[in-house]
């Protein structure tokens, strides 16, 4: 269980805030590579959605900018 928490922290530490558009409720995060994007979407998107709704409200759209292809 500790190993999973460390992996989770490692993944989230690699995300960085790019912008938030209040009009469209669109949040843009930078993510270092496609592999991390795929891991985040497959394993952590529900958790991330809950956190985003808490801070930005319902209906927030999440977009990513992948830094390396």
* Residue 28 · residue 19 · CB < 8 Å: yes
- What pLDDT is attached to residue 9? 74
**13-56: per-residue pLDDT in tens?**
889 999 999 999 999 999 999 999 999 999 888 888 998 899 88
- CA-closest candidate to residue 14, choices 37, 38, 43, 45: 37
- What pLDDT is attached to residue 5? 55
How many secondary structure helices (H) and strands (E) does the chain include? 3, 3
Query: 3-class DSSP state for residue 6?
Result: helix
């Amino acid at each position: 269980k500790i190993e999973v928490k460390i992996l989770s922290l490692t993944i989230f530490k690699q995300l960085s805030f790019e912008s938030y558009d209040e009009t469209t409720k669109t949040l843009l995060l930078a993510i270092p590579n496609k592999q991390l994007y795929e891991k985040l979407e497959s394993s952590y998107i529900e958790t991330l959605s809950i956190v985003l709704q808490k801070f930005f409200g319902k209906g927030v759209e999440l977009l990513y900018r992948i830094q390396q292809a």
